[in-house]
Amino acid sequence: MTSPVHIVWFKRDLRIDDHEALRAAADAGVVLPIYVYETDLLVQPTADARHIDFANQCLSELDDALRALGSPLVFRTGTMPAVLDRLSDELAALNGDHVIASLRSHQETTDLEGFRRDVEVNEWCATNRVERIEYIDRGVIRRLATRDGWSKKWKATMSRPIVKAPGRIDGTLIEAGSINAATDLGFAPSTCVDLQPGGRAAGVGVLDSFLTERGEPYAIAMSSPVTSFEHSSRISAHFAFGTLSGKEVYQATLARIAEVKDDPDRGMWLKSLRAFEKRQHWRDHFTQKLEDQPSLEIEAMHPMLDDLRPGLDSERYERFVNGTTGYPMVDACMRATAATGWLNFRMRAMVVSFATYHLWLDWRPVAEHLARMWTDYEAGIHYPQHQMQSGSTGINTLRIYSPTKQVTDHDPTGVFVRRWVPELSDVPDKHLAEPHLRPPDLLSADSHYPSPLVDHATATKEARDRIGAIRRTPEAKKISDEIVERHGSRRPSPRTKRAAAKKGAGRKQTTGKPSASTTTKEKAATKAAGSATGT
């Protein structure tokens, strides 16, 4: 008699807690937990050794947790359909009594290569009569017909009960395999010398320390690279690799808000926790955009803005990537990114803004490079954010950051800049934002820091003029309205709010259409658009 085996495919959900696919498989019978180093995904230009290094730390701990339940994590390398073929043969060879009955995993919003992979896997399951089951892991909705009511549905999903890990699992005797180092997979050694620790325990620890200790000044500290490394949540990589679930973080945040709400000595806690809660919402809001329109990875959201920056200026790109643009804050951020794999949200927005407005670089190669550099890369956040920060959406207000103002506002004494751009260690604070303008008597004879690659005022005026000339046309405005209808956040309009108040309904009302403030290029959304990445 054959014994059905239920494969649990771990991807970016590297935990046993709040893992519905694992729990359901354990309840169904024999479980085969697998992780695949997918060769077709690892050759993508967004992949880097730092991602493998972080994932491997998570996988080591996951393997230990699964072994304690009754089965090791099975490691394989190759394309997913080929791996499934081999697993089927291996199971059949175990006395001929094991067959794959189901393939279970969580839904995820991937890049286009991952989407193609999913199609192939689904076809394999259909061909081999294997039940394919995907479980909802976050507040992103597949085949979403309208954005109306999205926030309410998101909250309902995030408020669902946390799924407990199974007490034990019945495994197979299949060979487990082992973790592969990044260099064994063909990657050059990582430049990320200060990689954030991975694994479930590290994720739980960093969340707890944020909610109870580090997070009080978050609302104001998250904007500066000086304070954000300590006082931002730092859970973004754990979100990206799924050592923490969205539900866990959201519900822990609400519980902490309830604790401090009536505390007279709460300080800034309530303001900071509510800001953090909002960014969890924005994480899925942006991911929903890519879910609804996968082409955002390679095509501008507004088609008339797709070919703004033809060609790639190699010198400008290389100096941007290497942190030698002559703008201290940009260069410090790029060097910090390469070495740590992380940057706070405001500085991420600034470097993308600088690359695409000041240097007039196409957002796509910029996005690919930063995907490689940020350990917490998630396609669903990454591409919609790059489009917004580069002015490619056609609906968001153009936010062109002044890299010199970022120094004076967020690093006036040069703590961050001097750490990452030591060539400027002797430059006085008042000249640090624009060291090329310091008097000749303050120029160091051995200084090799370059002059600015472009002039801020000239470059940004040209960028605004080019984009504005397109966006002001009737055709572009019509397309922008359609984009807002498809992707815009839904907020009750002032008129609707007044009507609800008069009725005394005590419920939020919506018109079913974007409010006036939303259709005006989502100004409020642009201002508030932080996400769990970099916060």
Quick: pLDDT tens for 278-337.
999 999 999 999 999 999 999 999 999 999 998 899 999 999 999 999 999 999 999 999
pLDDT band at 3 (very low <50, low <70, confident <90, very high): confident
Q: Is the pLDDT of residue 496 over 80?
A: no
Cα separation, 57 vs 62, whole angstroms: 9
Options 1.10.1040.10, 1.10.390.10, 3.40.50.720, 1.25.40.80; CATH for 188-293 is: 1.25.40.80
Cα separation, 96 vs 473, whole angstroms: 68
Instruction: Name the burial class of residue 97, with classes exposed (0-12), middle (13-18) and buried (19+) by CB atoms within 10 angstroms of its CB.
Output: exposed
Q: Is the pLDDT of residue 249 over 80?
A: yes
Helices (H), 232-361: 236-241, 246-261, 269-292, 314-322, 328-340, 345-353
Q: Provide the token pair at 334.
A: 């790029």
pLDDT band at 85 (very low <50, low <70, confident <90, very high): very high
Q: Is the pLDDT of residue 514 over 80?
A: no
Cα separation, 38 vs 55, whole angstroms: 13
How many residues are there in the chain?
535
Q: Is the pLDDT of residue 516 over 70?
A: no
Cα separation, 115 vs 158, whole angstroms: 24
What Rg do the C-alpha atoms of the chain give, in angstroms?
A: 25
Domain boundaries along the sequence of the chain: 3-137, 188-293
**What are the pLDDT digits (tens) for 101-117?**
999 999 999 999 999 99
pLDDT band at 411 (very low <50, low <70, confident <90, very high): very high
Q: Is the pLDDT of residue 520 over 90?
A: no
Q: What pTM was estimated for this model as a whole?
A: 0.91
Q: Provide the token pair at 329.
A: 């804050």
pLDDT at position 446? 53
Q: Is the pLDDT of residue 517 over 90?
A: no
State the chain's mean pLDDT as an integer: 91
Other C-beta atoms closer than 10 Å to the C-beta of 56 total 18
Q: Is the pLDDT of residue 177 over 90?
A: yes
pLDDT at position 317? 98
Q: Are 22 and 167 in contact (CB under 8 A)?
A: no
Q: Is the pLDDT of residue 493 over 50?
A: no
What are the backbone angles phi and psi of residue 99, rounded to the nearest 5°? -135, 150
Identify the weakest region by mean pLDDT among 162-166, 215-219, 379-383, 439-443: 439-443
Q: Is the pLDDT of residue 192 over 60?
A: yes
pLDDT at position 442? 66
Q: Are 268 and 219 in contact (CB under 8 A)?
A: yes
Q: Report the SS3 class of residue 5.
A: strand
Percent of the chain at pLDDT > 90 equals 85
pLDDT band at 271 (very low <50, low <70, confident <90, very high): very high
Residues 6+ apart with CB under 8 A from 266: 260
Q: Is the pLDDT of residue 523 over 70?
A: no
- Topology of domain 3-137, CATH: Rossmann fold (3.40.50)
